[in-house]
Amino acid sequence: MKFISTLLLGFVIFSADAQNWKITSAYSLGAPRKEMGNNIPLVHSAQAGFLYRMPGVFNRLSAGIELGLGIYASKRIEQTFQFNNNVTAVLPVSYNSNVFNGAMQLRYDLAGQKSLVVPYVQAKGGLYNFFSNIFIDDPHDPDGCRALQQENIINDKTLYWSAGTGLQVDPSIFTKRKYRGRVMIDLSVNMVKGGELSYINTKRLMSAQDVSTNGGKPLSVQFINASTQEIHEHTVAQVYTSALRLLEFRAGVTVNLGDD
């Protein structure tokens, strides 16, 4: 985060000319691909960033930063845990899985700034972070078994790059009066690729005793029996490791901060 803040400050110092600045914001739908697509559902994110349009002959080229925060799972299920002496306990387990991304971005417009429809190509590079929080409720039976560590955090990150194409459309194109405004509808599609990272399997989440360990690593939590003080472990999730692969669809707006 310190690196991103320093980069943003550098852009501000670089130019006080507001007309060259743009604010971007979008809703992002990431469809996991290949092995990742077998393990997690769609990734929903909110993205925001800044772009600085280069002056002079390079005025079709923009550079900036982007930050995003999203979620790919939020579930609460009843898990049945089998203890010694054929004793079982049903405990609610909550799973919340999120993503964060931060990147530098380059965008090249394929039409002039006065156009009502501006196609563009773009490239990005930065950091993607997957993190999950698993919370295990205490049992209703005070003499039953409870988790020694109720909250477990799975956190992993990787460098990534993406490339794609998009289209900026002035809303006035749908009206009788055509004029170039400050707000543009922004639609894009991007291919996201990165290194390997670990995350919990939330696409086929079920009771721990029914989860297949094929290709995954069990995530175990220690439980203690309140009556006997016996400590034992039980699986609450499966951790998978694969390369970051997403096909990303975006819809949002781009706001020009000054007059062209």
Tens-place pLDDT, residues 215-227:
678 777 777 666 6
**88: in domain:** no
Q: Does residue 144 lie in a domain region?
A: no
Torsion of CA 158, 102, 124, 127, to 10 degrees: -10
Measuring CA to CA, how many Å separate 177 from each of 113, 129, 170, 180, 184? 18, 45, 11, 10, 15
Task: List pLDDT tens digits, range 193-221.
Answer: 999 999 987 776 655 545 555 667 877 77
Residue 229, in any domain of the structure: no
pLDDT at 14: 46
Contact 51, 21 (CB under 8 A): yes
Q: Are 71 and 79 in contact (CB under 8 A)?
A: no
Does a structural domain hold residue 230?
A: no
Q: Would you state the pLDDT for residue 91? A: 74
Phi, psi angle pair for 48, to nearest 5°: -150, 150
SS (H, E, C) the chain: CHHHHHHHHHHHHHCCCHHHEEEEEEEEEEEECHHHHCCCCCEEEEEEEEEEECCHHHCCEEEEEEEEEEEEEEEEEEEEEECHHHCEEEEEEEEEEEEEEEEEEEEEECCCCCCCEEEEEEEEEEEEEEEEEEEECCCCCCCCEEECCCEEEEEEEEEEEEEEEEEEECHHHHCCCCCCCCEEEEEEEEEEEEEEEEEECCCCCCCHHHCCCCCCEEEEEEEEECCCCCEEEEEEEEEEEEEEEEEEEEEEEEEECCCC
In a domain, residue 174? The reply is: yes
Work out the percent of the chain whose per-residue pLDDT is above 70. Answer: 73
Cα–Cα distance between 96 and 187 in angstroms, integer?
28
Distance of CA 41 to the CA centre of its chain: 12
Q: Considering the domain boundaries, does residue 227 fall inside one? A: no
Q: How many domains does the chain have?
A: 1
Mean of all residue pLDDT scores within the chain: 82
Using an 8 Å Cβ cutoff, are 89 and 80 in contact? yes
pLDDT(149) > 70: no
- In the predicted model, is pLDDT for residue 230 greater than 80? no
Q: Is residue 46 part of a domain?
A: yes
Asked whether residue 211 is domain-assigned, the answer is: no
Query: Which residue, chain included where needed, has tokens 């291919």?
Result: 191
Answer whether residue 55 shows pLDDT above 90. no
User: Residue 118 has which token pair?
Assistant: 């501006």
The pLDDT score that the predictor gives to residue 13 is 47
The CATH number that applies at residue 12 is 2.40.160.20
Neighbours of 228 (CB within 10 A): 12
Which value, to the nearest 10 degrees, does the dihedral of the CA atoms of residues 66, 123, 18, 22 take? -60
Q: Is pLDDT of 9 > 50?
A: yes
* Domain hosting residue 61, numbered range: 2-75+93-138+153-199+243-256
Mean pLDDT (whole number) for 132-145: 70
